[in-house]
Amino acid sequence: MKKILITSIAILFSLSACHDDDYITGLRSPGNEDDSSEMAERVEGRVAISYVTYYGTTIPNPTYLTHINYAFAELYFKDGKYEKFDLQGNRARFDQIKKLKEKYNHLKITLSFTNTVSNPDNTIHGGFSALCKNPEMRKKFAEDCKAFVKEEGIDGIDIDWEFPGMTFGSNAFDAEVDVDNFTLLMKDLRETLNKSTELTYAGYCMNVREGAEGGRKYIDAAAVAPYVDFINIMTYDMADAPGHQSAISRPDLYWDCQRSINDYAKAGVPYNKLVLGIPFYGRNNFASGGAINYRDILKLNKDEGYIIDNWDDTGKVPYVSKNGQFYCGYDNPQSIAIKGEWILGLGMKGMMCWDYEGDDDNGTLRRAVWNAVMQ
């Protein structure tokens, strides 16, 4: 099997710090001569995961995937007590995704839970923060998950609570106890689910942190690690937009992939439980509509001033410029291949992407992720 040829990882981290010429527009990504149409043979134990959303319109082709994380299910409360959970959106969408297992027997389907509310018959409530404070409610939720996995014939549960100890919206949170209660939730899930049922969570790019005004936020990765099969680390949106949101190493920016993985490893999480997140989009800003899918990046018009596949040789990632100015950072097959060499050198488990709909019709990024992980 032909391997993807990429720059040695030793060279990758011997490069000097950022210089102004890192941002010269029109500098093409290296390695465009690579024939990535070939599919590497699957390596047992490694994972290539894609989140597939309830609002997506594409029926995934799982050829280059080991897992689909179906996003999302949400919690229902009544009179302050956890009542049930339900899929977001149209049930038929989930059934279509689940049916893929009939043709692709290697594929695993995991149900991912969000802390947000989308269904019109549901209302904003205490969410996971309220659920996790009550041992009886945690147990009921775990039993409901076990029953759903069995009834639907799926393979796992993924918790995407963003994040314990804080909120991006109006959901309740408790900085004093959320982090510890998340650990208790994952413990209850692990003890309740069958041993063959996978349990994962979507982790922030940082380990648990002390809050500026007291309390803690994010997740205590070391405490949770014994209960989960692996952690899907969201190593994207790690810089102010527009910026290099998913660089391997950019010490001048808010965060990067290298610091993220180091943070988890330093906390004591084994590398073989860490999965690197890959964005299938670029980020121009954090307002609504500020993300641009890879498929749409490819359609940006040079006549309108856009140049794609500029290359940042410090962060080892491409970016788009518009009229000579930085427009958005993203990932392409070359950056994914370099990340693959890096994570395998560390002994990490694989990669996940958010989300399937962002890829082009040829599956360019999915194929790149597969080959990077299975090389």
Which pair of tokens denotes residue 24? 């010269």
pLDDT band at 150 (very low <50, low <70, confident <90, very high): very high
Span of 18-22, 147-151, 214-218, 240-244 with lowest mean pLDDT = 18-22
Q: What mean pLDDT comes out for the span 327-348? A: 98
Q: What mean pLDDT comes out for the span 104-132? A: 94
Q: What mean pLDDT comes out for the span 239-263? A: 95
Tally DSSP H helices, then E strands, for the chain.
10, 16
Which pair of tokens denotes residue 317? 């990632």
Distance separating alpha carbons of residues 361 and 57, to the nearest angstrom: 13
> How much of the chain, in percent, has pLDDT values that exceed 90?
84
Span of 41-55, 166-180, 318-332, 356-370 with lowest mean pLDDT = 166-180
Q: What is the CATH number of domain 36-292+331-374?
A: 3.20.20.80
pLDDT band at 212 (very low <50, low <70, confident <90, very high): confident
With a cut of 80, say whether residue 310 has pLDDT above it.
Answer: yes
Longest Cα pair distance anywhere in the chain, in angstroms? 61
Across the beta sheet with 281-283, what order do the strands follow? 291-293, 281-283, 325-329, 317-322, 306-312
With a cut of 90, say whether residue 289 has pLDDT above it.
Answer: no
* Mean pLDDT (the chain, rounded): 90
CA distances from 310 to 292, 317, 349 (A): 16, 9, 29
pLDDT band at 370 (very low <50, low <70, confident <90, very high): very high
CA-closest candidate to residue 348, choices 73, 45, 134: 45
Which pair of tokens denotes residue 249? 């190493």
pLDDT band at 9 (very low <50, low <70, confident <90, very high): very low
pLDDT for res 169: 77
pLDDT band at 126 (very low <50, low <70, confident <90, very high): confident
Domain ranges of the chain: 36-292+331-374
Contact criterion met (CB below 8 Å) for 94 and 54: yes
Span of 11-15, 80-84, 192-196, 222-226 with lowest mean pLDDT = 11-15
Q: Name residue 159's beta-bridge partners.
A: 113, 201
With a cut of 90, say whether residue 19 has pLDDT above it.
Answer: no
Which pair of tokens denotes residue 310? 């500029």
Q: What mean pLDDT comes out for the span 170-190? A: 95
Span of 48-62, 165-179, 310-324 with lowest mean pLDDT = 165-179
Q: Within a 13 Å sphere around the CA of 325, how many CA atoms are in the beta-carbon half?
A: 6
Span of 11-20, 102-111, 308-317 with lowest mean pLDDT = 11-20
Q: What mean pLDDT comes out for the span 66-74? A: 98
Q: What mean pLDDT comes out for the span 60-70? A: 97
Beta strands 274-279 and 350-354, pairing class:
parallel
Distance separating alpha carbons of residues 337 and 340, to the nearest angstrom: 5
Distance separating alpha carbons of residues 48 and 363, to the nearest angstrom: 13
